[in-house]
Structure 1
Amino acid sequence: MKQRLLTGPVQAARAFFATEAAGGIVLIAAAAAAMILANSPLATGYFGLIHHKLGPLSVGHWINDALMALFFLLVGLEVKRELLEGELSSWQERRLPGVAAICGVIFPALIYILFNRNNPAAHAGWAIPTATDIAFALAILAIVGSRAPASLKILLTAIAVIDDLIAVLIIALFYSGTIDLVPLFGAFAVLAIMLLLNSLRISSLLVRLLLGVAVWSGVHASGVHATVAGVLVALVIPIKSLSPKAADEPSLLHKLEHGLHPWVAWLIIPLFGFANAGVSLAGVALEGETGDVALGIGIALVLGKLLGIFGAIRIACAIGWARRPRGASWPQVFGLACLCGIGFTMSLFIGLLAFGEGSAFGDATKIGILAGSLVSAFAGFLVLRFSHPSAPSH
């Protein structure tokens, strides 16, 4: 009898976690929990837990520097797969999402700088509103359901993949400290060993993961942000099967991507949201320079992403350089561009790199990201919910 009573909830849970919206909903729940705790009598315990030392690093640093390296490993694997055999495997397929993603980075950065032009100390945050949270955005698109054509999901995913690639380049180029070349060369030596394993057709995933830890250690010690190690490791994971006798066997890249995805979606990203979204609103005064930072980020996410992405797509289609997504109307493309203003995970991460923990702009950054992401999410949902599809343009 007890087993029967449990069957319903277990089946419901399995059905929920099988949906595309589930990852984004769990992330939203984790961020909401962080905000509630940070503004409750339990705030001291919440912040104490995040800053509690575990060996050489605090809990927050283990999440942001170590676990997020696995997130970036997954991002790297997805980017590599999409570029080599997915939706971005040809230049023709890359053109529309490519120009949209680039403009979706430039416009928010310019708007943020405009709001903070008289505040040089805040200029380091220019990249905060340039990123799109794919899990959050796809969750909203999944909630809209069949009212949004599949072509919109494909375009959103492609834009987000290129957006992630740009974000990784920005982190590597602009948010790394003084570089110590000795451990960095050591990390590249380990990467060379991993390439040698590919040449020798040694297909051990465990060995590669252990070598990946060594790469992370070298990159972390070098001053380059440690999460870049995840992308570097992804680049040397083979996308083709190493066994000539089992060509149909899934490659190491597909195996690792499939194995990492649930851990990243259900543990790492929610933990990151829980550790970094909590901001105490007590005594926060968003005025002067801090107000400009929060307002600049929020408006850059909402309007910058919308103007950059929708404008780029509209112009590219008008001049015949690309076609509107099949079966999607212009209002639906407008709604998709709104969803791209959901910055959350990557924006919070870049905010930490730009201003550090406990800085004067830290809380303002989080408030701007949360406000801009929520406005973009609601705007995108409402536009997509009440828009109607159309025949593909020619």
Structure 2
Amino acid sequence: MGTQNCKQLPLHYLLNSFNSFFKMEAAGGIALMVCTVAALVWANSPWAASYHSLWQTKLTVGIGDWILSKPALLWINDGLMAIFFFVVGLEIKREILVGGLSSPSQTIMPVAAAVGGMTIPAICFFAFNAGTDSVGGWGIPMATDIAFALGIMSLLGSRVPVGLKIFLTAVAIVDDIGAILVIAIFYTTSLDLPALGIGVFVLGLMALLNFRWGIRHSIPYLVLGVIVWFAFLKSGIHATIAGVLAAMTIPASTRMDCTGFVEKLRGAAETFELAITPGKSVLTNKAQQIVLHSIEHAYDDATTPLQNIEHALHPWVAFCIMPIFALANAGVALEADVFQELVTPVAVGIFVGLVIGKQIGVTGACWLVNKLGLASFPDKTTMMHLWGASCLSGVGFTMSIFIANLAFEDAARLVELSKIAILFASLVAGISGYVVLKYFAPDASEADS
């Protein structure tokens, strides 16, 4: 297995890579907004019955005694969302190995901000719901929807410093880790030990494929990953956890180092040029076809399965899975008395947690870490920028709705109230963050000029 010995990439290449990620997340956030509005309009239209009946349509798959028969809504929340969490797991692994969470100096502030942004909202919710049936929803306001948050931030263009965008992304990654732990530890109600044992065994097999046998082809991991998902689903542990754990077994190393890759490309280019025959295209030039196949194999050896799978799945998650989740889950009836219901403990707890708790937790943690000299603010970022980012971190939407479905699985009305509160809180948080960054924070583009 090769080692990486390339010279450090110029800063603009790294920024271009992040900007591509940022643009995709931002575009995904816009797709989420469109599907959210579509779901709300549909659920409050004369065709509302068709909206609800569509997601209750039963779909059945299985072999022998292992049969799953669930409504379409649960296939989305338990199945498609497992793919989302699989990609989240890949992003977490990448960030820990080589990204914004790979060194203590880069990690301290976003980790502190994420912990503060999870702890204070949970306390806010608990304060309003202690002693009630809804107290179990304390995990709902802890979440941040990175696609929505970056989507709103993208509307500000170059006004927002790149360092702030990277900071918010890192906070959201740590926030996802927290949400995954909360789901695994606190929202697992019962366990089927034989099914769990099968899932753990197959996970161990995936780890052996990577760390012991060096298997790099993605197909074995994806096939075994489906088995892990099925086993975890039957075990009682939410299937999305299987996605994260499976992601941790995906190879993140290369077979060929950078020097070997460059030498391979140079040799291939020379051979390709020598094989050029006037009047003959690549379609009929066997020598050139062999060279192109060798370059393809070299690419496979010089890249990692982790990045290849992540790049392949990320557009599907951003533009298909997440919008479908929004379309299926955001359709709540906004009745005449909806504002009266927003003063119930569960709704107030969610609203205060996301809108106020996030601001206090994230901004306060950043201020404290900086004051203690443990970490400095991101490049060209002021306290006002961080306040704007803390507002945007209150856009909980996708993850908050997901946790609400788990927290109140047997209380449909609490789920509906939670969704309404999440929608209103996310709207207020998004507008607040936009206003702060647009009108109060220094313009990063002017600082560069």
Q: 1:36 to 1:227 in 2, by over 3 A?
A: same
SS in 2 for 1:57: strand
**Match in the other structure for 1:9:** none
Q: Secondary structure at the match of 2:144?
A: coil
Distance 2:436 2:208 in 1: 51
Cα distance change of structure 1 residues 365 and 263 upon mapping to structure 2, 3 Å threshold? same
Contact (CA 8 Å) 2:25, 2:146: kept in 1 or not? Answer: no
| Cα distance per residue 1:243-272 (max 9 Å; x no partner) | 687596210100110011001000000000
Q: Indicate yes or no: 2:406 matched with 1:330.
A: no
Would you say the 8 A contact 2:256–2:301 is kept in 1? no
- Superposition TM-score, scaled by structure 2 size: 0.80
1:26 and 2:38 aligned: no
Asked if the contact 2:190/2:236 (under 8 Å) is kept, the reply is yes
- Residues in 1 aligned to 2:23 and 2:334: alpha-carbon distance in whole angstroms: 35
Conserved? CA contact 2:216–2:251, under 8 Å:
no
* Aligned twin of 2:127: 114
Give the SS at the match of 2:239.
coil
Name the amino acid aligned to 1:281: L
For 2:131 and 2:229, locate their aligned partners in 1 and report how far apart those are by CA, in whole Å. 38
User: Runs of 5+ in structure 1 lacking a partner?
Assistant: 1-14
- Whole-angstrom distance in 2 between the partners of 1:51 and 1:20: 30
- Give the 5 Å matches for 1:211-230: 211-230=224-243
Secondary structure of the 1:93 match is helix
Q: Please show how residues 244-393 of structure 1 align to structure 2 within 5 Å.
A: 249-282=302-335, 287=340, 291-356=344-409, 359-386=412-439, 387-389=441-443
One-letter amino acid of the structure 2 residue matched with residue 91 of structure 1: P
Q: Is the Cα–Cα contact under 8 Å of residues 23 and 154 in structure 2 kept in the other structure?
A: no
1:173 aligned onto 2:178: no
Residue identity opposite 1:330 in structure 2 = M
Q: Contact 2:24/2:318 (CA < 8 Å) preserved in 1?
A: no
Q: Is the CA contact (8 Å cut-off) linking 1:23 and 1:135 kept in structure 2?
A: yes
Shift in alpha-carbon separation, 1:243–1:345, aligned structure 2, 3 A = same
Query: Are 1:84 and 2:97 an aligned pair?
Result: yes
Structure 1 residue matching 2:378: 3-state secondary structure: coil
Q: CA deviation at 1:288?
A: 7.2
Question: 2:199: which partner in 1?
Answer: 187
With structure 1 as the length reference, what TM-score do the two structures score?
A: 0.91
CA distance in 1, matches of 2:201, 2:84: 23
Percent identity over paired residues: 44
- 1:33 is paired with a residue of what secondary structure? helix
Contact kept, 8 Å, 2:255 with 2:301, in 1: the verdict is no
* Offset from partner CA, 1:297-332 (integer Å, 9 cap, x none): 011100000000001101111121111121112211
1:342 touches 1:374 (CA, 8 Å); kept in 2?
yes
The code of the aligned residue for 1:21 comes to A
Query: Compared with structure 1, are the counterparts of its residues 204 and 20 closer, same or farther at alpha carbon in structure 2 (3 Å cutoff)?
Result: closer
How far off its partner does 1:20 sit?
4.8
Corresponding letter in the other structure for 1:278: G
Over residues 33-84 of structure 1, what are the superposed CA-to-partner deviations in whole Å (9 max), with x where a residue is unaligned?
1111111001000000011111111110110000000000000000000001
Which of the pair has more CA radius of gyration?
2
Q: Which residue pairs with 2:145 in the alignment?
A: 133
* Corresponding position of 2:110: 97
Structure 1 contact 25–136 (Cα < 8 Å) conserved: yes
1:120-155 CA-partner distances (Å, limit 9, x unpaired)? x11110000000000000111111111110000111
Instruction: Please tell me whether the aligned partners of residues 202 and 242 of structure 1 are also in contact (alpha carbons under 8 angstroms).
Output: no
Rounded to whole Å, the distance in 1 between the matches of 2:381 and 2:204 is 45
Count of aligned residue pairs for this structure pair: 376
Other structure's SS at 1:241 match: coil
Q: Give deviations 1:101-127, integer Å, cap 9, x for gaps.
A: 0111110001111111242x1111000
Deviation at 1:206, TM superposition (A): 1.1
The 3 A distance-change label for structure 1 pair 315 and 357 is same
State the one-letter code of the partner of 2:401.
Answer: L
Q: Distance in 2 between matches of 1:385 and 1:210?
A: 47
Match of 1:160 in 2: 172
Matched, 1:37 2:50: no
Separation (CA, whole Å) in 2 of partners of 1:213 and 1:284: 44
Aligned 8 A contact 2:122 2:141 in 1: yes
- Quick check: 294-303 or 193-202, which moved more? 193-202
Of 246-255 and 341-350, the range deviating more from structure 2: 246-255
Q: Distance in 2 between matches of 1:384 and 1:64?
A: 33
Q: CA deviation at 1:282?
A: 3.0
Separation in 1, partners of 2:361, 2:33: 26
Unpaired segments ≥5 residues, structure 2: 1-19, 61-68, 261-297
